[in-house]
Amino acid sequence: MNRLLSLCITALAGLLLLYGVEEFPRWGDPLQPASAHVSPRYIEQTIPETGVPNAVTSVLADYRGYDTMFETSVIFTAGVAVMMLLRRSRGKKS
């Protein structure tokens, strides 16, 4: 009974999500809101402004420099966290 109920809830939620997807812009539509805001400027101005032929790199490292800076900081923090968690036992042993 409980399983049947969960199945019904899952199916209902899935149908609800599918209904929501209907409202999405079509795949690859150039006029969808996500493509119409800043993307055309990046695509047109990447080479005149940065000289980098790869728009992904110029967005990653130049236009979204803060984002990548903190990504690097997160990786650094992860390394330090692993060091702190795992090297404690070594210090206790010696």
Partner 1 sequence: MVRNLDDLIIRTCARLMVPFLQIYSLYVYVHGHTSPGGGFQGGCIMAASFILLAVAYDIGEAKRRFSERLNAIFCCLGVFIYVGTGAVALIFSANFLDYSAWQHIIPVGPIMARYYGIAMIELGVEITVMAVMVSIFLDLVTAGEQEAVLERDHD
Each residue 62-91 as x (binds partner 1 by CB under 8 A) or -, in order, gives x--xx-xx-xxx-xx-xxx-xx--xx-xx-
**Token pair 């210090």 in the structure block, residue:** 91
Of residues 6 and 64, the one with the C-beta less far from partner 1: 64
Which residue type, as a one-letter code, is found at position 3?
A: R
State yes or no: residue 60 binds partner 1 (CB under 8 A). yes
State yes or no: residue 56 binds partner 1 (CB under 8 A). yes
- Nearest distance from C-beta of residue 23 to partner 1, angstroms: 32
Q: What is d(CA 31, CA 34) in angstroms, rounded to the nearest whole number?
A: 8
Please give the full DSSP string across 11-59, using - where no structure is assigned.
Answer: HHHHHHHHHHHTTSPPTT-TTSHHHHSSHHHHHHHHHHHH--S-HHHHI
State yes or no: residue 50 binds partner 1 (CB under 8 A). yes
Structure token pair of residue 75? 């990786």
Residues near partner 1 (CB under 8 A) are 48-54, 56-58, 60-62, 65-66, 68-69, 71-73, 75-76, 78-80, 82-83, 86-87, 89-90, 93
